[in-house]
Structure 1
Amino acid sequence: MEPGMEPAALQLSESVRDFVAGGIGGACGVIAGQPLDTIRIRQQQPGYSGGAALLARSIVAVEGLRSLFRGMGFPLCTAAMQNAVVFQSYGIAARHLTGGQQGSLSLLQVTCAGCFAGAVQTAVIVPVDLLKIRMQLQTAVRGAPGYIGPLALLGSVLRAEGLRGLYRGTTITCIRDLPSHGVYFAVYEITRELLEPGSRANGSSNAAALWAAGGIAGSVSWLSVYPFDVVKTRVQAAAAAQSPYRGWVDCARQSLANEGRDVFFKGLSTTLARAFLVNGAIFSAYELAHKCLL
């Protein structure tokens, strides 16, 4: 090396930065929202009609505080991958739509890139959600008879249903995630610009605005597809052989016939509260990590 020359700094591609920052954001989101997610999953099951606070007290009293975090291992281990895939897919689609040129995307382009990201992430999220849901629906505590740990549950599903069993609910998951991610990214961009004018073009430096924009985007995106999530949860709650449903359409039909229209909004308030916390954390961590990786 000649005198006065310094080694060049390691330059990460935009795609790699999206991937790494998305993974960091995803892990932060899981930790922030797992207790409310456990309550949401229980509320969505047939036969439950109580409020979130009552259910939370019941879970803690009977199963212990740790039960609110049951099933977190699967999403925490895979949240980095899931959100990394989402943000990387979004970035790839965004760069394709703009021809690789710098500058802000139109809201239509943002929505299209978000839908693409939602479709891509389905392959990652389906088995994770299925295992998480079945862990969360257990009432036996760790060490007690009948308790099934995460690895044992994974083995049980593979032995009984094969790889196909892990992907039960793929169609309804894609129906939920494709449009919701379009809404997710579009609402985030709109809200961030409203809270901090000029941030779409120049970046954001206001942590509170990032959190609020991410939280609002998450809440609105969940609200836009929530009935599909209720159906997805019920479909994935049991193996095909034990399930009362022949598929997601049959699940929706039976749920409506047996419980009325309100069934499709069970656990909605809990979900929206969780979505605000989780997605505020995801976008805040993502934006911070993305800047640090420059």
Structure 2
Amino acid sequence: MEEGLEPSVLQLSEGTRDFLAGGIGGAFGVIAGQPLDTIRIRQQQPGAGGAGARQFARAILAAEGGRSFFRGMGYPLCTAALQTAVVFQAYGIAARHLAGGQPTTALSLPQVFYAGCFAEGPAGAPGYVDPLALLASILRSEGPRGLYRGTAITCIRDFPSHGVYFAVYEACRELFEPGSRAGGSDSAAALWVAGGLAGTLSWLSVYPFDVVKTRMQAAAASQSVYAGSHAAEGAQAFFRGLTTTLGRAFLVNGAIFTAYEVAHKLLSQQAPAAAAQAREV
């Protein structure tokens, strides 16, 4: 080994491991949930009617073919991976701060909730046109401000839902596999179900805000989305696509947490091994 090269430089920090594992989890989540996300977004659009997920799926398949369910996946694959990486890194930072130097597994569920709220990150949704063309169109018609339409409602949606997200995951993980919070999980099924329930319940807690956000981002800047939607369709307007969203949330977040935990475990194992090899050189 070259003089001056310390083994510690080969080790990843906790924050870096959180970031990398979160990015891997986010990518797996997009792949698992893209078809249902395509249906969800279309169900939420004004005038979509009360058709169920199967009817929408058949209509899309008949009119556009199976590939349409994955149209535009490249963009959310990149953005969701980055977003999830930031969310898990922020959650890890907050959890370690609240733990005060103790293992983060010692956190109570309320503390997990607070750490999750801190992890709220920017949300993205897959589009159905080329993202660069959409960007140019928004800038031409509304200017830079158009890119931030719906930011406030997105924050209102994401802040509590991320707290619910991590708290439910930790509670379910321990319920399905007692001792896993302290000693790690050996069951991919337990991780998937815990992650799936975490995603489902976090979406359920804020779903109407997501409908308003989707319609706000698609409407003209001067429109009052909430009042217009309620007047035209009633309260049910804010629950369109709920079943599809919850089904998608289970698949996506089961994939995210399972991939995250596996990747984080592998990254944690690699660091000591790399350091040991460096000491032998």
> In the alignment, is residue 85 of structure 1 matched against residue 66 of structure 2?
no
Aligned pairs (5 A) from 1:50-65: 50-65=51-66
Q: Give yes or no for the alignment of 1:110 onto 2:112.
A: yes
Q: 1:189 aligns with which of 170, 173, 188?
A: 170
- Aligned residues: CA RMSD: 1.7
Identity of aligned residues (%): 71
CA contact (8 A) 2:95 2:104 kept: no
Does 1:258 find its partner at 2:237?
Answer: no
In 2, the alpha carbon distance for the partners of 1:167 and 1:204 equals 40
Structure 2 residue aligned with 1:274:
248
- Structure with the bigger RCO (C-alpha within 8 Å, sep 6+) is 2
Q: Describe the superposition over 1:181-225 as per-residue Cα deviations: whole angstroms up to 9, x where unpaired.
A: 000000000000000001111111110000000001000100111
Task: Report the number of matched residues.
Answer: 263
* Residues 35-84 of structure 1, C-alpha deviations (whole Å, 9 max, x = no match): 10010111111222111101111111111211111232221111111001
CA shift, 1:274, in A, is 0.3
Distance across 1 between alignment mates of 2:151 and 2:113: 22
Give distance in 1, aligned partners of 2:145 and 2:93.
Answer: 29
Q: 1:293 & 1:155 partners in 2: Cα distance?
A: 40
Structure 1 residue identity aligned to 2:16: V
Letter in 2 for 1:207: A
Query: Corresponding residue for 1:13?
Result: 13
Distance (Å, rounded) in 2 between the aligned partners of 1:180 and 1:99: 24
Residue 165 of structure 1 contacts residue 239 of structure 1 at CA under 8 Å; is this kept in 2? no
Q: Could you say what secondary structure the match of 1:293 adopts? A: helix
Distance 1:238 1:74 in 2: 22
* Equivalent residues in 2 for 1:1-294, closer than 5 Å: 8=7, 10-47=10-47, 48-104=49-105, 105-118=107-120, 121-122=121-122, 125=123, 128-129=124-125, 132=126, 135-136=127-128, 148-240=129-221, 245=223, 250-294=224-268
Return the offset for 1:29.
Answer: 0.2
- CA apart distance, 1:7: 7.7
Render the CA deviation track for 1:246-288: whole Å, top value 9, x for unaligned: xxxx322221221111111110100010000000000000000
Q: What is the TM-score normalised by the length of structure 1?
A: 0.85
Where in structure 1 are there 5+ consecutive unaligned residues? Answer: 137-147
TM-score (norm 2): 0.89
Report which stretch shifted further, 25-34 or 43-52.
43-52
Deviates more, 1:155-164 or 1:176-185: 155-164
Aligned partners of 1:155 and 1:186: how far apart in 2?
Answer: 40
Measured in 1, the distance between the counterparts of 2:203 and 2:104 equals 28
- Identify if the C-alpha distance between structure 1 residues 103 and 58 changes in structure 2 by more than 3 Å, giving closer, same or farther: closer
1:141: which partner in 2?
none
Cα separation, 1, equivalents of 2:133 and 2:229: 30
Amino acid paired to 1:35? P
**Unmatched tracts of structure 2, length 5 or more:** 269-281
